[in-house]
Structure 1
Amino acid sequence: MLQAKRTVVFDLDGTLADTSADLLAAANACFRGMGHGDMLTAADTLTAFHGGRAMLKLGFSRLDGWDEAMIDAQYPVLLEAYAGAIDTHTRLYPGALAALEVLRGQGYVLSVCTNKPAGLAETLLRKLGIRDMFGAMIGADTLPTRKPDAAPYVAAVTQAGGVVARSILIGDTETDRKTGLSAGVPVALVTFGPEGHAIARLEPEALLHHFDDLPDLAERMLQ
């Protein structure tokens, strides 16, 4: 009987691509629209990778007199602003495209599992020119639950034609680490993402320092 193909599942923001500048710009568009000017800076990059609501909360915390209802009201505005300028500054991390091509050439199944809304993730992957490299794409709203619940990860593997027992997750945050634990799969966290080498505090099964190292790392993790 043929052995199931090995699957590598990727997070998107902060793992495959640095999306922080465009995310921050979308949040700042909200604050400018309310007459406050830019409330977030490049120093808030880590917050950007925790999502739109986290960015809005941080920005509002720097103003007087705000509540959760204001975040709820501005979140759709943020999404619209982001959709209109989703790839102005966003770039794949160095070596990402070459690593994906090598893995595919070696017979790996590739997939994306992200907490970005699915429509935005699909758009960004297409604009980056890599959507056709992935057998499946699971976003924050594809299923009733999102990472770190195991269900989105399992769907990302199985919809691409893989099996969970022969898969690994490449990510950049504690959410990805917890997803691996939930799904019972090894996780490699990137050190070129928002937390840098400090991500080692989460004690993942592996650290990925550059995409050039990914094919060898995947081979070791999925022997």
Structure 2
Amino acid sequence: MRTVIFDLDGTLADTSGDLLAAANHCFRQMGHGDVLVHDDDAAVALRGGRMMLTHGLKRVGAYHENTVHAYYPTLLEAYAQDIDTHTQFYPGALEAVEMLKSQGYGVGICTNKPEALADQLLTQMGVRGQFASLVGADTLPVRKPDPEPLREAARRAGGHPDLCVLIGDSDTDRNTARAAGVPSVLVTFGPSGDDMAALEPEALLHHFDDLPELVTGLIGAAA
């Protein structure tokens, strides 16, 4: 089976609002107030919790690696308690997933979000059952850009790891697909969308309506 594997944050859904809120919860505990703002820091949010803590602490001149390490569990706890207040799927994302499935592709997720949080988010938003696999940052001993999480997501979705395509939004996704020897499609509608062309993926995705045709062109029609 051919499979289409999606990144989650910044690819299927804009999770930046809830991620930034969790980071600012930490900064308030430190006494810095709300350090990160959506208009300036959405792209940072989609790079993960440690990146948000690092970015915010450097902004206020208080960065230390030990502080990031100490507050990361606090951030995860705050995020788990308020994970879907602002999160929205990008227009056409879920419709594209269902179209791909109807055409015979296996569909899964490979994310650098901790697996339990990814599962919680998808479950609370009522869409966990739409994805045949979910591989998170801690599912395996390695995480993206190591290619093994992508390969495992393809296998768990019922597919052959050499016959998949990764849909993502970052250099991490581009490098993961390259390491696995499979094509990548990078979305241009996220906060870092203008930077995607420079990463030279096999295709750029401007709207999810175009995804099924792009997939067929890259890995062929599903059996």
Could you tell which deviates more after superposition, 60-69 or 154-163?
60-69
Output one character per residue of 1:41-95: Cα deviation in whole Å (capped at 9) or x when no partner: 1111111111101100111112234411111111111000100110000000000
Matched, 1:20 2:51: no
Secondary structure of 1:40's counterpart equals: coil
Q: Distance in 1 between matches of 2:79 and 2:51?
A: 15
103, 108, 113: which one pairs with 1:106?
A: 103
Q: Which runs of 5+ in 2 are unaligned?
A: none
Q: Distance in 2 between matches of 1:34 and 1:202?
A: 37
Partner of 2:120: 123
Aligned counterparts, 1:1-223, within 5 A = 5-42=1-38, 43-223=40-220
Structure 1 residue runs of 4 or more that deviate by more than 4 Å after TM superposition: none
| TM-score normalised per structure 1 | 0.96
Output one character per residue of 1:24-52: Cα deviation in whole Å (capped at 9) or x when no partner: 11000001122211011111111111110
**Residue 124 of structure 1 aligns to which amino acid in structure 2?**
L
Displacement, 1:221? 1.1
Secondary structure of 1:188's counterpart equals: strand
Q: Distance in 1 between matches of 2:124 and 2:203?
A: 30
Q: Which runs of 5+ in 1 are unaligned?
A: none
Answer whether contact 1:172 1:194 (CA < 8 A) is retained. Answer: no
Q: Distance in 2 between matches of 1:168 and 1:62?
A: 37
**Residue 118 of structure 1 aligns to which amino acid in structure 2?**
E
Aligned residues: 219
Output one character per residue of 1:96-146: Cα deviation in whole Å (capped at 9) or x when no partner: 111111111111100100000000000111122221111110000000100
Answer whether contact 1:91 1:128 (CA < 8 A) is retained. Answer: no
Answer whether contact 1:191 1:209 (CA < 8 A) is retained. Answer: yes
Q: Distance in 2 between matches of 1:117 and 1:123?
A: 10
Aligned CA-pair RMSD: 1.0
**Residue 213 of structure 1 aligns to which amino acid in structure 2?**
D
| TM-score normalised per structure 2 | 0.96
Q: Distance in 2 between matches of 1:8 and 1:54?
A: 27
Answer whether contact 2:54 2:63 (CA < 8 A) is retained. Answer: no
